[in-house]
Structure formats: structure tokens, C-alpha cells
Amino acid sequence: MPDRGSPERAVQVLQRATLCNSYRTGPNNLLGAAPMAFSVENKGHGISVACSERRNERPLSREEARHNMTEYHEKWEEIPAATRDEHRALKSLQEELEAVDWYNQRAAVTADAGLRAVLEHNRDEEMEHAAMLLEWLRRHMDGWDEHLETYLFTEGAIDEIEEREQAGGAEGSDDGLSGASTSLGLGGMKGDD
């Protein structure tokens, strides 16, 4: 445990106090508790935290608390239902990608082959979930279709794809091949490949 007067101890105490406050005023706030205010002092003999209710703030309703916990950046009631669904998909995609990373790291460091196989299987399942979410976003949120079509399943340097695509379109190619060769790649018929 960190020394009572150390900055690490202050952080530890504040984390506990913040957790307590979020429990009191978050979605489990059945009593309508007011938010807490915290102050930290190092009085030479250790860190002390003073807590008091912020009486000038009304407690959040359960509905407000629930929406504040979802990471919306605009007023929830003003966001259209379709945009809220897109937010749900994007947050789920983020969570699936984090899970892929976690399983991948764990599989990389374990010495147990059986555990590695299970972790790799779980990682691959999370990849499947992420791919499903990407497809849902492609179908429902403007812009995804165009960008996925531009970058997925391509060859060459990824950072040059957009430039190549724009250059191909600028050449006036209306054959849908964006400047790609129309040769079948069979070589010359007279042997002069």
C-alpha cells in the first residue's frame, strides 16, 4: 500500500471516492442522492479526503443518469433513433475490437498450447462479431460503404489507395476500372510479349 502522504495514495483515495460517488448518483441511485464534492488535503500526517453533498445541484433522474452513462455528446432526447442505433453499433464495434486485442495479447504470451488455442478461438469469434457490425454500419450509416469499398481487399500501399483512385477517376475512365489495364494479360499474339 502506498505511503499515506504520497501522491499515489491520494490517487487511490480519490478513485475510491469517485467510484462511491458514481454508485450513489448513477443508474443505481434509487434514493435520488445528490452528487458529492471532494477535496483532498495533505496535512503532513497523511492524505485526507473531505466529502460533502453538493446541495446546489439536484440529483439526476434515473433516466438522466442512464443516458449520461452512455457517452452521448449531445442531448439524448434530441438524437434521432437511427443515430442512437448507429452509436450502439459503433460502441459495440469498439468493444469487439478491444476484445480481439485482449485475446490476441493473451494468446501471444501464454506458454500453454491448449489455452492459446482457446484464446485464439475466442479472438477469432470477436473478429466475426466486429465484421458483422462493420457490415451493419455499411448498410445503415452514410459513408461506410464508400470507404470500405475503397480500402478493403486491395493491394499495394494503403496510404496511396485514395490517391490512385482519384488519379484513375481524373483520367476520365468511365469503364468502371479506374485506370486499370484492360489487357487480359495474355501477352502478344505474335510472340513479342
Asked if the structure places residue 49 within a domain, the reply is yes
Asked if the structure places residue 38 within a domain, the reply is yes
- Count of domains for the chain: 2
Asked if the structure places residue 167 within a domain, the reply is no
Asked if the structure places residue 22 within a domain, the reply is yes
> By percentage, how much of the chain surpasses pLDDT 90?
39
Asked if the structure places residue 120 within a domain, the reply is yes
Asked if the structure places residue 177 within a domain, the reply is no
Domain shared by 80 and 145, yes or no: yes
Asked if the structure places residue 131 within a domain, the reply is yes
**What's the mean pLDDT when you consider all of the chain?**
74
| pLDDT greater than 50 at residue 22 | yes
> pLDDT tens across 111-151, in order?
999 999 999 999 999 999 999 999 999 999 999 999 999 99
Domain shared by 113 and 144, yes or no: yes
Give pLDDT, residue 182: 41
**Domain housing 15:** 7-60
Domain shared by 141 and 82, yes or no: yes
Give pLDDT, residue 190: 46
> pLDDT tens across 81-101, in order?
999 999 999 999 999 999 999
Give pLDDT, residue 100: 97
Give pLDDT, residue 157: 92
Domain shared by 54 and 88, yes or no: no
Whole-angstrom Cα distance, residue 157 to residue 190? 35
Domain shared by 12 and 40, yes or no: yes
Give pLDDT, residue 115: 97
Domain shared by 40 and 83, yes or no: no
Span 150-165, mean pLDDT?
89
> pLDDT tens across 57-76, in order?
555 566 665 655 557 788 88
Asked if the structure places residue 182 within a domain, the reply is no
Give pLDDT, residue 24: 47
Give pLDDT, residue 180: 47
Give pLDDT, residue 39: 57
Domain shared by 89 and 144, yes or no: yes
Domain shared by 82 and 138, yes or no: yes
